[in-house]
Amino acid sequence: MNTPVRWRKSSHSGAHEGNCIEVADLNDHIGIRDSKNPATAHLTLTRRHFASLLAYLSSQP
């Protein structure tokens, strides 16, 4: 039996913000999708690459 993927909105997304993402734990990967259009494809990154992306984004002004 497949467990449904549980997507959660980014903690940095406000309740009425237009640019929001959702993330999901996909075992050894992380899924990222557009919360406004969840039916479209999502980006899948390894946990290591996701951590690198977060480190890069947090270093930006």
- Nearest in space to 30 (alpha carbons), one of 54, 58, 55: 54
What pTM was estimated for this model as a whole?
0.77
pLDDT tens for 16-31 read: 666 788 999 999 999 9
Q: What is the mean pLDDT of the chain?
A: 88
CA dihedral sign of residues 43, 37, 54, 28: negative
Residues with Cβ within 8 Å of residue 58, at least 6 apart in sequence: none
Percent of the chain past pLDDT 90, that is, above it, reads: 59
Backbone angles phi, psi at 31, to 5 degrees: -95, 145
Structure confidence by residue, pLDDT tens digits, 3-20:
889 999 877 666 666 678
What's the average model confidence in pLDDT over 29-38? 92
Q: What is the pLDDT of residue 47?
A: 97
